[in-house]
Structure 1
């Protein structure tokens, strides 16, 4: 039976080795799937593909071993790891997808996104997102020494945490009209994304929206087979 899996928002970090161990166990148990999509925020922060931190090499090896068993592997950038590039994905034996992407899942076109671009009510974040995805800005950041980039990443995480603590919950969720617009623009009736940390299934006028969960005390993954969709949860 054909199986396609989706995960996102693991926020891998040296301070949370339990989540890295959970990913290792997950990958070891899912080598019979056909394809795995990682829809952003695999890492809590990403300072560039030249990062020499042990975690970067460890995680690449985990995915490389997983892919060697047969499954196809795809990555997408998130709001935390927006500097993720083709070089690291190649070392992990995967392919980097643009956000958004439409892929064929068992004969049906499905829209894949990280999900942060759908949160248009958060004007402050949307302004930062535009800057952070500007090629010139990224080139300037990547030209800095690794130590400076690590300090910048820590600063951005602290600023984000402080800013989010003062925002209303609905502002940090997706904007329904933007969801409908994206699905209509891409001609799909199914959308899968992460980012909001609100795992759920939503029935829409234009189809359905599946939201992946973040990995913390529990891990989450979406499974699609010929029998349909199923959102799984497991203890970390």
Structure 2
């Protein structure tokens, strides 16, 4: 059986076709997977586990059904949905993964990350990340009314789009030295991550040994997934109907 990986779906009420495509995957091909790994940014924004709105409710219910069918679901926080808590994981029947983490995948220790920690040249984003990952900041934010948190998320998304438009292409990608250092520190020869929206398989050398970095794609123009089995890896796409 194959392991299934996705990331950067950025599901949002304004993009119902993408949500439908993902729900179709969960009700179809994902049922034949050995496990499903979601490596961050499942949603465009997540302002707390107490938000009952869509598409969160439908997606969590579908993930729960997949888990109850016998396919384990593993969920990693991304830069848009870093406020996942245990309540959300339970709604999805999922296991929360730390970022980064090393998982044995068919006998090969593999480093799993969302990927934003590798983009060290984007210093403005890294400063923002440190702020919002601080437990005291999160506690204060989650204490605010839901409407106030939703308004903050909308402002943050607008600021992110403006930042991306003004940033160079190189800043938005990973820093090669950070990739090599991170893989060496964890003692792995394979890394799977998302975040950069640049699906590809990159060969490199880590401590003078061959290594592989697999980048998952986003779900804006089409769906993107990685299947991994003992015979190899393959990146695939699927259409998102209008």
Please tell me the TM-score bracket, short chain as reference.
over 0.9
3-state SS, counterpart of residue 31 of structure 2: coil
Distance 1:112 1:54 in 2: 28
**Which structure 1 segments of 5+ residues have no match?**
none
Which residue in 2 is equivalent to 1:109? 109
State the partner residue of 1:63.
Answer: 63
Q: How far off is 1:181 after superposition? A: 0.6
Q: Displacement of 1:109 after TM fit?
A: 0.4
CA distance in 1, matches of 2:48, 2:37: 21
Tell me the SS of whatever aligns to 1:233: strand
Equivalent in the alignment of 2:4: 5
Aligned to 1:129: 129
Matched, 1:208 2:239: no
Residue 54 of structure 1, CA deviation: 3.1
Deviations 1:122-159 (A, max 9, x none): 00000001111000000010000000000000010011
Tell me which residue corresponds to 1:22. 21
Match of 2:118? 118
Which residues of 2 match residues 213-232 of structure 1 at below 5 A?
213-232=217-236
- Structure 1: how far apart are the matches of 2:164 and 2:225? 25
Residue-pair matches, total: 235
How far off its partner does 1:89 sit?
1.1
Cα offset, 1:217, TM superposition: 1.8
Gaps of 5+ in 2: none
Match of 1:48 in 2: 48
Cα offset, 1:111, TM superposition: 0.2
Runs of 4+ in 1 over 2 A off after TM superposition: none
Distance 1:164 1:51 in 2: 27
Deviations 1:25-83 (A, max 9, x none): 11112201111100000000000001121322111101011111111110000001111
Query: How far apart, in 2, do the equivalents of 1:58 and 1:235 lie?
Result: 20
Is 1:194 aligned with 2:198? no
Cα distance in 1 for residues equivalent to 2:61 and 2:205: 42
Question: Residues of 2 paired with 1:218 and 1:19: CA distance?
Answer: 8
**CA positional deviation for 1:196:** 0.2
- Tell me by how many angstroms 1:169 deviates: 0.4
Task: Report the alpha carbon displacement of residue 108 of structure 1 after superposing the two structures with TM.
Answer: 0.8
